[in-house]
Amino acid sequence: MEYRRLGKSGLQLSVVSYGSWTTFHHQVDEHLADTLMGYAYDQGINFFDNAESYAGGESEKLMGRVLKQKRWERSSYVLSSKVFFGWHGKENKPNQHGLSRKHIIEACHEALQRLQVDYLDLYFCHRPDPQTPVSEVVWAMNHLLQQGKILYWGTSEWSAAQIMEAHMIAERYGLIGPTMEQPQYNLFYREKVEKEFLPLYESIGLGTTTWSPLASGLLTGKYNAGIPRDSRLGLPGYEWLKEKLLIPQNIEKVKALQRMADAYGVSLAVLAIAWCIRNPHVSTVILGASRLSQLEENMQAVQFYHQLQDEILQQIEAIVDNKPHE
């Protein structure tokens, strides 16, 4: 396994990690979660990603039970949660979501209970909150840092300007600013990681933990001829995702990428994940998997990315045709 520093911080993350969005509790039960996390850990994955909102808190509970059974040394893995959406879904009361100091602190306490750990290594603001001053967020996160309840804090799907604002506030008061951002990054969605955040990697040493490397599975080719019943886009409640992803020009590109992957003797999933890893600004690519065979396959990308020479990259660019302009 290869490990990369999370931006300029001293923390090292495996270049691929494992997250539980949509899968834990809905598709993955406790037995399977134990198998998947066990396999990931044995392969050298040291970061597990979670959030208060995943499966209404059940994803954290499930991961917490597995971690307890595994009895891994706490220092051997990195665990995250995220705050913003709350865990009651539509039933959230006013202070049960967002980034107020109240919700940030309470959500952290609840995540610690559900995950059955004493501290979170990474704590993300899952989205920006226009209702809360950024200074309140920075102070609340620093309060948790001082208490040792979180070790690093960061953002997810914030703009470069919002991240910079948090950084400047932290600097002004001698506080710790955001260490990392969690953006979407895959062959269809590149703008933030490859363009918008470029100045931040140098200036503040921003790390990135990127999500949906396979665009929810689209970049495996599994949706080329319809929606398999046992797949994410076939799950009830994900119609919005289906509408966003299953558009004819995406499917055409996936088919062309598939032919390319076939020619190089790898699966499209491995090619697509390797393409994410090959970006040095990516600290870790968070994988999703609803079964062991997927994780086994996707892990091959950790080796394969070394083979992504200019010629292959140019072929990929010609197909996706979406390179952000400098």
In the complex, which residues of this chain contact ligand NDP (CB under 6 A)?
Answer: 19-21, 23, 27, 49, 156-157, 182, 211-217, 220, 222, 231-232, 269, 286-290, 294, 297-298
Calpha distance 279→290 (Å, rounded) = 25
Calpha distance 158→129 (Å, rounded) = 9
Contact 88, 31 (CB under 8 A): no
Closest of 105, 189, 92 to residue 140, by C-alpha: 105
CB closer to ligand NDP, 85 vs 142: 85
With H, G, I as helix, E, B as strand and everything else as coil, classify residue 120. Answer: strand
CB of 39 to ligand NDP, least distance (A): 13
CB closer to ligand NDP, 207 vs 213: 213
CB closer to ligand NDP, 20 vs 100: 20
Residue where the block lists tokens 């226009």:
130
Residues labelled as active-site residues: 54
Calpha distance 187→242 (Å, rounded) = 17
Contact 198, 204 (CB under 8 A): no
The tokens describing 94, both together, are 């006013």
With H, G, I as helix, E, B as strand and everything else as coil, classify residue 293. Answer: helix
CB of 140 to ligand NDP, least distance (A): 19
CB closer to ligand NDP, 81 vs 175: 81
